[in-house]
Amino acid sequence: MTNNNNRLKTWKEIVHMNTKDFQDVLKENTDKNYHTENVLYLAFRSCDMKMIEEAKIVLADHLTQGSLSHENAKRRIELLSRIKSTFLKTYQTTYWECL
């Protein structure tokens, strides 16, 4: 499932959120099965343009296909792992508790 009916948050909205508000967004999205959106938001927080662009592609493919293909799921998992490695250990733990 993807967030095709709701407005996605922008890079600016995500990077300017405090940690608690960001965690709340992750939890809400997880409850709605918006995992691909969470990957994009985590990429935004990493501020790594390559990962942001890759997350946008994964989300666009997910939305276009209407579901997450096996290949796209694999790309998402690999990207999520790379994103996670960019955060300090304390944020890794805190954010992953929300997912």
Instruction: Report the C-alpha dihedral over residues 39, 43, 44, 46, rounded to 10 degrees.
Output: 140
pLDDT score recorded for residue 96: 79
The pTM score is 0.88
Q: Specify the amino acid at residue 67.
A: S
Contact between 95 and 87 (Cβ < 8 Å): yes
Question: Residue 2: inside a domain, yes or no?
Answer: no
Question: Residue 5: inside a domain, yes or no?
Answer: no
Question: Residue 4: inside a domain, yes or no?
Answer: no
User: Taking 60 as the threshold, does the pLDDT of residue 5 lie above it?
Assistant: no
Averaged pLDDT, 40-59: 96
User: Taking 80 as the threshold, does the pLDDT of residue 11 lie above it?
Assistant: yes
39-67 residues labelled b (16+ CB within 10 A) or e (exposed): bbbbbbbbeeeebbebbeebbebbeeeee
- The boundaries of the domain holding residue 36 are 11-98
Question: Residue 6: inside a domain, yes or no?
Answer: no
Q: How many residues does the chain have?
A: 99
Question: Residue 29: inside a domain, yes or no?
Answer: yes
Question: Residue 55: inside a domain, yes or no?
Answer: yes
Question: Residue 3: inside a domain, yes or no?
Answer: no
Question: Residue 1: inside a domain, yes or no?
Answer: no
* Chain segment 52-86, per-residue pLDDT in tens: 999 999 999 999 998 999 999 999 999 999 999 89
| Total of domains in the chain | 1
